[in-house]
C-alpha cells in the first residue's frame, strides 16, 4: 500500500523528458545567440568596404596636373607647372604654363630638310593626280578619238602621251 500514485516517481529516470515538459522554458541560450549575432552584424557594418558600380561615361580628374593636356606653343617643351586653374579667366599675354626644354638628343637635326623633301613629294603627288584626272577627263570628253588609242595607264606629271 505504499505504491506511489505518481507515474513519474515509479518510472524512475526513464521519463525525464516528461518532467522537462512541465518546466518553464529558459531563453538563456536564445538570448546569448541573438546578442552574439547582433554584435557580429554591428562589427561587420563598421568594417571598411568597397563599392563597385558599372556605368558608361567619361572619367576626368579634377586636378589639371593629373590628366593629359594639350597646349599649342611656338616653342617645344613639356609642361612643368600650371599657372591657371580650369575655368579661370585669363587675358591675352597671361602666362598659362611653365615649359621645360626638351633635350637636344630628342630633336632631329635634319627635321627641316626632311620636311622640305616631304613637301616636294606631296607637291609631285598632287601633280600626278591632276595629270591622271586630266587623262580620264579627256577619255570621257573624246571617246572616239581617231588619232589612235591612248596609253592604258595615266601619264605622270600632267602630260598626255600617245602609245
The answer to whether the beta carbons of residues 135 and 160 sit under 8 Å apart is yes
129: in domain: yes
- pLDDT attached to residue 163: 46
Counting the structural domains of the chain, the total is 2
Q: Give residue 86's pLDDT.
A: 79
Pair 139, 158 in one domain: yes
Find where cell 591622271 sits.
132
Domain with 90 in it:
67-107
Beta bridge partners of 150: 162
Which of 79, 107, 135 represents a domain boundary (last residue)? 107
Beta strands 97-100 and 78-82 are: antiparallel
Q: What is the pLDDT of residue 146?
A: 45
Q: Has residue 52 been placed in a domain?
A: no
Residues 93 and 116 in one domain: no
In a domain, 101, yes or no: yes
**Position 43 in a domain:** no
Predicted local distance difference test score (pLDDT) of residue 77: 77
Residue-level pLDDT, tens digit, the chain, 163 residues: 555 555 555 555 566 777 777 667 678 888 899 999 999 999 988 888 777 778 887 767 677 667 666 666 677 777 888 898 877 888 888 888 888 777 766 677 788 889 999 999 999 999 999 999 988 888 888 876 644 445 555 555 555 555 4
Amino acid 47: pLDDT = 84
The answer to whether residue 118 sits within a structural domain is yes
In a shared domain, residues 115 and 142? yes
Q: What is the pTM of this model?
A: 0.28
Amino acid at each position: 500500500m505504499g505504491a506511489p500514485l505518481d507515474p513519474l516517481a515509479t518510472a524512475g529516470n526513464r521519463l525525464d523528458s516528461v518532467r522537462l515538459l512541465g518546466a518553464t522554458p529558459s531563453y538563456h541560450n536564445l538570448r546569448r545567440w541573438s546578442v552574439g549575432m547582433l554584435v557580429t552584424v554591428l562589427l561587420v557594418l563598421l568594417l571598411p568596404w568597397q563599392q563597385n558600380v558599372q556605368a558608361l561615361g567619361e572619367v576626368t580628374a579634377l586636378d589639371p596636373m593629373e590628366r593629359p593636356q594639350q597646349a599649342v606653343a611656338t616653342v617645344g617643351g613639356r609642361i612643368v607647372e600650371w599657372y591657371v586653374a580650369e575655368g579661370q579667366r585669363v587675358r591675352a599675354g597671361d602666362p598659362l604654363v611653365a615649359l621645360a626644354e626638351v633635350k637636344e638628343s630628342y630633336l632631329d637635326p635634319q627635321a627641316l630638310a626632311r620636311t622640305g623633301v616631304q613637301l616636294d613629294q606631296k607637291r609631285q603627288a598632287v601633280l600626278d593626280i591632276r595629270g591622271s584626272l586630266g587623262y580620264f577627263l579627256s577619255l570621257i570628253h573624246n571617246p572616239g578619238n581617231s588619232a589612235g588609242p591612248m596609253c592604258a595607264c595615266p601619264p605622270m606629271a600632267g602630260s598626255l602621251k600617245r602609245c
